[in-house]
Amino acid sequence: MDAIKKRGLKRQVVGTVVSNKMDKTIVVSVERLVKHPLYQKYIRRRSKFAAHDENNACNIGDRVKITESRPLSKTKRWRVSQILQKAI
């Protein structure tokens, strides 16, 4: 029963656009804090995701929210759901 409830939920993350050189694709850098197992200090970890940008609306430096989706190409598994803040 729990699997049925969880099926509709898709992961959403917020990150910064680091590249928009491809057509309808952007690269988003997502930062998270992870606690070091020995020293108990928080470390920044970054991941880069290729996301689908249908209208080529995003520019480098924009803050965007991306949502998990079905595979769109070899590397794209995310779509831009919202542009939170435009770059200055």
Query: What is the pTM (predicted TM-score) of this model?
Result: 0.85
Give the up-direction half-sphere exposure of residue 68: CA atoms within 13 A in the CB hemisphere.
Answer: 7
- The tokens for 78 are 């995310």
With a cut of 70, say whether residue 29 has pLDDT above it: yes
CB neighbours of residue 57 within 10 Å: 13
The per-type count for the chain, helices as H runs and strands as E runs, is 1, 5
Q: For 72-83, how does the pLDDT look when each residue is reduced to its tens digit (9 = 90+)?
A: 999 999 999 999
What is the CA angle 7-8-12, rounded to 5? 110
pLDDT reported for residue 9 = 87
pLDDT band (50, 70, 90) for residue 7: confident
Average pLDDT over residues 48-56: 97
Tell the burial category of 6 from Cβ atoms under 10 Å away from its Cβ (0-12, 13-18, 19+): exposed
More confident residue, 82 or 2: 82
pLDDT at 8: 75
